[in-house]
Amino acid sequence: MIDSFRLERVKYVPKELQPRVLYVADEFDIAVHLCACGCGTKVTTPLGPTEWRVSDANGGPTVVPSIGNWQLPCRSHYVITGGKVLWAGQWSEERIKAGRNAEQHRREAYYAARAHDRKWWVRLGKWLRGLFRGGRN
Ligand SMILES: [Zn+2]
């Protein structure tokens, strides 16, 4: 088992991954590491407002939310915080589904908020155009 990670910022993710290294390729907005259970599987986490976020403080990388490798045979689930791996234990099917739903809600809330912002801009644009029309007439 891997109990700690260090952050390495790279342009491209190397072919041969080292254990205990969390590679962040900013250009592609992904982080890649070898599964912390030691099974050797490459785990890719997309980074973004609705995906994973990586910060580097307190002696090592912190990745949120937790990393659940449900699709892998090992089904490992852990949190990387301050470079340390904390095991979250095995989740039941229901818990996994609930987690997925929570993720889905988070995404929907994010895009709804953005759509709301856009509507606000559209309204502002209309109002401004109205002003100019009014001015000319
Ligand atoms: Zn594994």
Longest CA pairwise span in the chain (Å): 75
Q: What is the DSSP letter of 28?
A: G
Whole-number Å distance, alpha carbon 37 to ligand 1 midpoint, is: 4
Whole-number Å distance, alpha carbon 36 to ligand 1 midpoint, is: 6
Contact 21, 36 (CB under 8 A): no
Whole-angstrom Cα distance, residue 37 to residue 104? 26
pLDDT average, residue stretch 97-124: 76
All residues with CB under 5 Å from ion ligand 1: 35, 37, 39, 74, 76
Whole-number Å distance, alpha carbon 2 to ligand 1 midpoint, is: 10
Q: What is the DSSP letter of 47?
A: B
pLDDT at 135: 55
| Residues 9-67: tens digit of each pLDDT | 999 999 999 999 999 998 889 999 999 999 999 999 999 989 999 999 878 999 999 99
The whole model's pTM is what? 0.68
